[in-house]
Amino acid sequence: MTAQGTIWGVGLGPGDPELLSVKADRLLRGARHVAYFRKAGRPGQARRILDDMLHPEVTEIPLEYPVTTEIPLSDPRYNATLSAFYDQSTKRLRALSDAGEEVVVVSEGDPFFYGSFMHLYTRLRDVCPVQVVPAITGMAAAWTATGTPITWGDDVLSTVMGTLPEDDLSEHMRRSDALVVMKIGRNIDKVRRALRAAGRYDAAWLVEFASMPGQTVQKLSEIEGKPTPYFSIIIVHGQGRRP
């Protein structure tokens, strides 16, 4: 019988290829099969990071997200559509594993931090060998880009999603010492209102494309009305005790 191949979930870090771990770099350069997520018709950020790294004979496996922008998050069809996508992707990867092939599945940031690979991992871990390679998160690159430490002393750091209801957002923002807001995009107006209600608006920084070409760092209050790209993170620094 053919031994199953390992599925590797490899974190690519925040976007700068030089911020890859040594292990991730080694696995990618030697990989025969590399899978990555993307929107249909687009190369995707993960694939961009891999430029000039892959073996000339590598087999690329794009996993293309279904279109869900027209479905509200609260609609059961949203989860059903994504669940079917992850089930189908799992079958493709398991077939390679059953044939004895190793596959590297890449994730922007860290695979276990709001990453799509998590949904494959939970489906694969009981049926074939799976290994995960952690990475620097996008939020770490974002707060580093501000040039100011994110936490001091006993500061409590909260990471909240812009997709949350506005009242929940403002409550989390109010209770936290240091704050990271992700998944902003079309939620930017709601996020701004929540920050104001929590009294944190004037302390907020917007970092776009952290560690990538085109990185910008600006006070959120100074760019009223500006649309935010997908790769945007809001940072509010803690002000805890210092020696």
pLDDT tens-digit series, residues 121-143: 999 999 999 999 999 999 999 99
From 136, 165, 193, the end of a domain falls on 136
60 and 21 share one domain: yes
Q: Phi, psi at residue 30, to the nearest 5°? A: -100, 0
Structure-block tokens of residue 112 = 């276990």
Answer yes or no: is 187 within a domain.
yes
Q: Are residues 212 and 158 in the same domain?
A: yes
Terminal C-alpha separation, the chain:
62
Q: Give 64-125 as a 3 state SS string.
A: EECCCCCCCCCCHHHHHHHHHHHHHHHHHHHHHHHCCCCEEEEECECCCCCCCHHHHHHHHC
Q: pLDDT tens, 27-60?
A: 999 999 999 999 888 888 899 999 889 999 999 9
Same-domain check for residues 127 and 155: no
Q: Which two tokens stand for residue 97?
A: 């594993």
115 is written with which tokens? Answer: 């990453």
| Residues with Cβ within 8 Å of residue 223, at least 6 apart in sequence | 206
CATH label of the domain that carries residue 186: 3.30.950.10
Q: How many CB atoms lie within 10 A of CB 55?
A: 12
CATH (domain of 73): 3.40.1010.10
Q: Which domain holds residue 95?
A: 7-136
Q: Give this prediction's pTM.
A: 0.91
Q: Is 212 part of a structural domain of the chain?
A: yes
Q: Kindly state whether residues 122 and 203 are assigned to the same domain.
A: no
